[in-house]
Amino acid sequence: MKTTISTLTAILFAIQISFAQSYTISGYVFDAESGESLISATIYLPDEGEGTVSNIYGFYSLTHKAGPKTLDFSYIGYETKSVVLDLQQDTSFNIYLGSSVTLDEVEIIAERDADAPTNVQMSQVNVSVAQIKKTPMLLGEVDVIKAIQLLPGVQSGSEGFNGLYVRGGSPDQNLVILDGVPVYNISHLFGIFSVFNADALKNVTLIKGGFPAQYGGRLSSVLDIRMKEGNLKKFEGEGSIGAISSKLTLQGPIVSDKTSFLISGRRTYADLIAKPFIKRANRNNESQVDPTLYFYDFNAKLQHVINDSHRLFLSGYFGQDKFNFKLTEDELESAGGINWGNKIGALRWNWKLSDRLFANTTLTYSNYDLDINSSFKDVEANRTTEFSSKYISAIEDYAARFDLDFIPNPNNYIKFGGGAINHSYDPGAITLNFVAEQTNIDTLLGTTNQKSTEMYAYLQDEITLGKLKANIGLHFSAFDVDDTFYTSLQPRIGLRYLVNQDLSFKASYTQMAQYINLLTSESLLLPTDLWVPSTARIKPQTSWQAAAGISATVRENYNLTVEGFYKKMDNVLSFNEGASFLAALDGDWQSKVSQGVGEAYGAEVLLQKKEGKLTGWVGYTLSWNTRQFDNINFGNKYPFRYDRRHDLSVVLSYDLNDRISFSGNWVYGTGNAVTLPIYDVPTEVYRYGNGQEVVGEDFNSYSGINEKNSFRMSNFHRMDLGVSFHKKKKWGERTWVISVYNAYAHNNPFYISLDTDYEFNEVTQQGVETRTFKEIAILPLIPSVAYNFKF
Amino acid sequence: MKKLLILLAIITITTSCEDFFSATKEIDLGEFDGQVTVVGRLVNTDLETVEDLNTLSNLGVLVSRSRSVVDTSNFPLLKNADVRLTGSDGLDVSLNYNDQTGYYLPGEPSTGEFERIVVKENTTYLLVVDIPGEDRVEAKCETKTFGNIKNINVIKEDIKDNSSVLDRLQIEVDDPAGENFYYLSVLYEFPDGRGNSYYNTGYLYSVNSLFDDSPELFTDELFDGKNEVLEFWSERYLNGVNQQGESIQPDNVIVFVWSLSKEEYEFRRSVEANYNAQDNPFAEPSIVFSNIENGVGVFSMSRIERFVIPWE
């Protein structure tokens, strides 16, 4: 290891020879109050017009010619700090930025941020956790995923649920990572809430295209969510008591400026509230129902600063959903339920090898498992019949990753690294146990465990050539499953031409490959969806995406981005017609799926204001999104279910003063594309008679579909409103949040149902059957109240 | 707190509207013009096989009209059509409407002149339906080289339960090169004690899974051009006991091996998928195969072979 690092250092030293008269300024950028590292803080040399940003660990490095320098350190919502120094040798120091927001002073000084025109990265949006917390949400539960759904290029799927469809991609094509660890199921309560507790989070970044080379393994997006590291300076806490859940987050130093902890927990309690009422309703019934429906989750993190060069982080997440019932009636007892949850853990080691070289080593664990169980027991006349079944499905990862940032000079920012992931899948198996008179069956059906290994390496350099900046990278990945070995070399190119500090043109081209797939219904994401690997028969999904656009700063505080994109996806997966998640039970899920082609293109506009009394964004997407499979829709191309021609989101919050703030969202979107059976076709006739003549006939028939997803639900629109009342207390701060979801109670269709009604006609003395298609909305106006506190 | 409650009340009141809690909205699909429906899934009737078929839909052609899914009236039978079946092997048969059955049948079935049809391999068949006042409706179907069944073996009572047993069925097929489609059905022939027989269906399962919905319908994708022994479970319900207290055993197992045209395979597969999707909100919707020009439905030709395996 030591030899490798020495060799590496020698090579890197050679690269910087041409900058021999230059010296390096390096260190970390921290929040002054908590000691949290600040991601993408700007370090700028105003005299030279050059600068850099801190990486995701807060580390920065800037190499420049010797001489007197002025460095401005800035970060959104923080006071800018200027440092003047005479650069005559490599210099290392950490910067602590103080928040510019206090309850007494709401005026915020505008700063540039990482989404600004100067940044080479395009198709990336950083959403501050503070903004997410201000956004009114369903049942008042702050939700990262629902906030992300409001961004251009992201379709929400079914209203009120946590589907993420980014630039025409499927949900499995999103790499959702929490502290660098993939999260395989992002939903609680069947998708109504996400697994991310905003109080424990520091940073949320969505990348929809122009993917930097360090990311891989998914086709459509990277949602990089970072947990807070824990306050190194002082003990603090925050929490919330809401309509459906409560949560509490505590953090503080174990050893001041050395070791910190963070722990955060959340639980819903609808079941606890409902239980007494259900018991009361049941008291006169023979049958007794005992339901359980809740979720809980915990986030925890330990941070230890060994010295200025070494830092260790240990973080974890554990969440579980439980949805069970028990029914008792006479001697019959039946029970059933569905339980699912994620467990993830990460051990991270930051190592500042030199002023220009920063290493990060991560060991991670991720597990998602699901079980569906049912049982009954019937005790009758000394005869007992028992049946139980359990459906299980899981994916488990062990992974290691090594990343290096090398900043030899202001014109090059090199990143390279690699890693390996060991995947283990249990894509659906069922255990059955049946005990009755003379019978005892105990069997296991379904697919057995399968393993695969995914490996990758990457290299990228962000090169500055005057006004032109390029991020050139290569991502190599390989996948070993059974006796099949896949490889993929993926070029990644990002370009930026800076017209002036307020305007730039950007373009990108990226290729991606994906080796693990989610077998899911198009209509709804469910915890029962199965993660399965690419196999000899199921080829890896691949894509390429090209995007171009402009990024501009308008009137100081407004960032405007306009982008056009085209994405082609190969080997995308879909269940065959008529198949569903039970496909895995027959031992060969591969025969129940098809691989085909996906295509998406469109334009996105995002006008964002991150500072001032009024903050938020307006996002608009115009897009087309299709799929084509040889075995589906008779090989004809059809619109993807979430092909949405127009999608508009307005997300605003306004701080009236230090005591009251308002927030609101308005969303509008083209209706989802759905498949409707619109005609009946007879296939067989049975004529019957009275022995002499035919008196009637019955038909067998099927309901016909013209084209898949050829019908559009009504367009949807919705307004959510919220108002927050802040008050400073002796012990800290409290906030009452009142919000209304779907404030004008618009019936946004969730699904379409064919209803059949029977009426008895008194005249003809016959029953009359009528059928109508109805759009069903499930989320009317929903008010909520939450009490938040912070100390 | 009082102010908050007042504010909440104001929001609720101001957002009221007449359909505030009405969460449904009717959809008007517009006018629907029914298409001529032709369903002709014909099989060879040159063997006694025909007598074992329990459906008329494989003997004749149904000519009707599709209707809107919200229309609850009965399907109309179009009785005045001119229906003709021709084949590249020289087959040329008129099918005539039979009011007893509602189907167009080959020959003159009303007079007992029922015309037998031989379904040959590598033959192109054409079905033409002319209805006064309508565009000509026609469909084409091609048969390929049929697979050759070399041997069928039944392993009795491989798995036994209280009410039924699973017999293991082994079918050796010599599959010709190229795409082929098969369908299997099984009957158990029991003595009724009065010198006649009665039949029970054997329900087929994949030997790999109890959850494969239709193992009886399959392609040669995994054994194209090879000699292969295919295995299935056939579920046989136990039909009581004889005077000695032993289970009544069948006299014969009758196995029908259908060599399907691609059209018949696609129709069977897609109809089954369509039915599966109807009551399952999580299943992908399925479009039913149609090869009818100027109409909807299916025209297919299949050959059935019948194998009688005595129960030893």
DSSP-assigned states of every residue in A536-550: SSSPPEEEEEEEEEE
Q: What is the pLDDT of residues A1-11, one digit of tens each?
A: 455 455 555 54
The label of the residue with tokens 């122009």 reads A210
Q: In this predicted structure, what is the pLDDT of residue A445?
A: 61
* Range from A270-279, A406-415, B14-23 carrying the lowest mean pLDDT: B14-23
Phi, psi of A12 (to 5 degrees): -65, -35
Residue A737 placed within a domain: no
The label of the residue with tokens 């009114």 reads A136
Q: Find all residues with CB under 8 Å of A146, minimum gap 6, and list them.
A: A135, A137, A138, A156, A162, A194
> Using 50, 70 and 90 to split pLDDT, how confident is the model at A383?
low
Q: Both A90 and A148 in a single domain?
A: no
Phi, psi of A81 (to 5 degrees): -120, 130
- CA-to-CA distance for B17 and B273, rounded, in angstroms? 42
Q: What is the pLDDT of residues A543-564, one digit of tens each?
A: 999 999 999 998 878 999 999 9
Contact A383, A360 (CB under 8 A): no
Mean pLDDT of A203-220: 94
Q: In this predicted structure, what is the pLDDT of residue B212?
A: 58
Q: Domain coordinates of chain B in residue numbers? A: 36-143+267-302, 148-259
Q: Both A497 and A574 in a single domain?
A: yes
Contact B82, B130 (CB under 8 A): yes
The burial of B9, by beta-carbon neighbours within 10 Å (0-12 exposed, 13-18 middle, 19 or more buried), is given as exposed
For B283, the token pair is 């299943």
Q: What does R_g of chain B's alpha carbons equal in angstroms?
A: 26
Residue A324 placed within a domain: yes
> Using 50, 70 and 90 to split pLDDT, how confident is the model at B142?
very high
CA distances from A526 to A1, A397, A530, A708 (A): 45, 21, 9, 22
CA distances from B22 to A574, A595, B70 (A): 35, 41, 22
Mean pLDDT of A643-666: 94
Q: How far is A404 from chain B (nearest CA, A)?
A: 45
> Using 50, 70 and 90 to split pLDDT, how confident is the model at A37?
confident
Q: Find all residues with CB under 8 Å of A339, minimum gap 6, and list them.
A: A320, A321, A322, A323, A324, A370, A371, A373
Q: Both A177 and A50 in a single domain?
A: no
Q: How far is A431 from chain B (nearest CA, A)?
A: 13
For A228, the token pair is 């807070």
Q: In this predicted structure, what is the pLDDT of residue A622?
A: 97
Residue A240 placed within a domain: no
A731, HSE (Cβ side, Cα atoms, 13 Å): 6
The label of the residue with tokens 């639980």 reads A267
Q: In this predicted structure, what is the pLDDT of residue A6?
A: 56
In this predicted structure, the answer to whether residue B4 has a pLDDT above a threshold of 70 is no
Q: How far is B310 from chain A (nearest CA, A)?
A: 31
Q: In this predicted structure, what is the pLDDT of residue B16?
A: 43
As a whole number of angstroms, the longest Cα–Cα distance in chain A is: 114
In this predicted structure, the answer to whether residue A335 has a pLDDT above a threshold of 90 is no
Residues counted in chain A:
791
Of residues B195 and B139, which shows the higher confidence score? B139
Q: How far apart are the first and last CA of chain B?
A: 87
Q: How far is A479 from chain B (nearest CA, A)?
A: 26
Residue that is last in its domain, among A644, A662, A683: A644
> Using 50, 70 and 90 to split pLDDT, how confident is the model at A655?
very high
A440, HSE (Cβ side, Cα atoms, 13 Å): 1
Nearest to B185 by CA among B199, B164, B208, B203: B203
Q: Number of structural domains, chain A? A: 2
Q: Both A74 and A164 in a single domain?
A: no
Nearest residue on chain B to A745, alpha-carbon basis: B20
> Using 50, 70 and 90 to split pLDDT, how confident is the model at B80?
very high
CB burial string A618-657: b at 16+ within 10 A, e below: bbbbbbebbbebeebbbeeebbbbbbbbebbbbbbbebee
Q: Both A448 and A493 in a single domain?
A: yes
Mean pLDDT of A466-478: 94
The label of the residue with tokens 């054409």 reads B126
Contact B53, B59 (CB under 8 A): yes
> Using 50, 70 and 90 to split pLDDT, how confident is the model at B88?
very high
Contact A111, A75 (CB under 8 A): yes
Q: Both A101 and A180 in a single domain?
A: no
For B150, the token pair is 């070399």
- Which residues are A594's β-sheet partners? A574
- Which residues are B192's β-sheet partners? none
| Cα A517 → chain centroid | 16
Q: In this predicted structure, what is the pLDDT of residue A21?
A: 74
Q: Which residue range(s) make up the domain with A86?
A: 22-111
Q: What is the pLDDT of residues A44-71, one digit of tens each?
A: 888 887 788 888 888 998 888 888 888 8
Q: In this predicted structure, what is the pLDDT of residue A670?
A: 93
Tell if the CB–CB gap between A679 and B100 is shorter than 8 Å: no
Q: Find all residues with CB under 8 Å of A243, minimum gap 6, and list them.
A: A139, A140, A784, A785, A786
List, in sequence order, the alpha helices (H) in A122-268. Answer: 129-134, 144-148
CATH number of the domain enclosing A46: 2.60.40.1120
Residue A158 placed within a domain: yes
Q: Find all residues with CB under 8 Å of A1, minimum gap 6, and list them.
A: none
What amino acid is encoded at A692 in this protein? Q
- CA-to-CA distance for A642 and A673, rounded, in angstroms? 6
Contact B134, B122 (CB under 8 A): no
Q: Which of A18-27, A29-38, A455-464, B145-154 has the highest mean pLDDT?
A: A455-464
Nearest to A193 by CA among A247, A237, A152: A247
Q: Both A190 and A91 in a single domain?
A: no
Mean residue pLDDT of chain A comes to 86
Tell if the CB–CB gap between B26 and A586 is shorter than 8 Å: no
Mean pLDDT of B283-296: 89
- SS3 category, B136: coil
Mean residue pLDDT of chain B comes to 83
- Which residues are B257's β-sheet partners? B184, B305
> Using 50, 70 and 90 to split pLDDT, how confident is the model at B78?
very high
Contact A682, B37 (CB under 8 A): yes
In this predicted structure, the answer to whether residue A681 has a pLDDT above a threshold of 70 is yes
Residue that is last in its domain, among A84, A111, A138: A111
Nearest to B273 by CA among B265, B263, B262, B283: B283
Q: In this predicted structure, what is the pLDDT of residue A17?
A: 47
Which candidate from A683, A684, A774 shows the least CB-CB separation from B26? A774
Tell if the CB–CB gap between A586 and B71 is shorter than 8 Å: no
- CA-to-CA distance for B114 and B93, rounded, in angstroms? 11
Chain B residues in contact with A705 by the CB 8 A cut-off are 274, 285-288
| Best mutation target, B12, B69, B103, B163, to test chain A (most A CBs within 10 A) | B69
Contact A603, A562 (CB under 8 A): yes
Nearest residue on chain A to B273, alpha-carbon basis: A578
ipTM of the complex: 0.88
Residues counted in chain B:
312
Mean pLDDT of A487-508: 94
Q: In this predicted structure, what is the pLDDT of residue A493?
A: 96
Residue that is last in its domain, among A89, A111, A133: A111
Nearest to A218 by CA among A512, A625, A424: A512
| B148-259 placed in CATH 1.10.3470 | no
Q: What is the pLDDT of residues A257-310, one digit of tens each?
A: 899 999 999 998 877 766 776 676 666 676 777 778 889 999 999 999 999 899
Chain A residues in contact with B25 by the CB 8 A cut-off are 714, 747, 749, 774-775, 777
Residue A339 placed within a domain: yes
Residue A694 placed within a domain: no
Q: What is the pLDDT of residues B181-192, one digit of tens each?
A: 999 999 998 887
The label of the residue with tokens 């003709």 reads B84
Q: In this predicted structure, what is the pLDDT of residue A569?
A: 97
Q: In this predicted structure, what is the pLDDT of residue A18?
A: 47
Mean pLDDT of B28-41: 89
Q: How far is A697 from chain B (nearest CA, A)?
A: 9
Q: In this predicted structure, what is the pLDDT of residue B14?
A: 44
CATH number of the domain enclosing A317: 2.40.170
> Using 50, 70 and 90 to split pLDDT, how confident is the model at A112?
very low
Residue A275 placed within a domain: yes
Q: In this predicted structure, what is the pLDDT of residue A427?
A: 75
Q: In this predicted structure, what is the pLDDT of residue A176?
A: 95
- CA-to-CA distance for B172 and B103, rounded, in angstroms? 36
| Best mutation target, B27, B103, B160, B214, to test chain A (most A CBs within 10 A) | B27
Q: Both A51 and A146 in a single domain?
A: no
- CA-to-CA distance for B92 and B113, rounded, in angstroms? 15
- CA-to-CA distance for A115 and A128, rounded, in angstroms? 12
Q: Both A73 and A128 in a single domain?
A: no
Tell if the CB–CB gap between A685 and B100 is shorter than 8 Å: no
Nearest residue on chain B to A593, alpha-carbon basis: B284
Residue A117 placed within a domain: no
> Using 50, 70 and 90 to split pLDDT, how confident is the model at A398?
very high
Mean pLDDT of A71-89: 86
Q: Find all residues with CB under 8 Å of A62, minimum gap 6, and list them.
A: A24, A25, A26, A43, A45, A50, A51, A52, A71, A407, A410
Tell if the CB–CB gap between A682 and B72 is shorter than 8 Å: no
Counting residues of chain A whose pLDDT is more than 90, the rounded percentage is 46
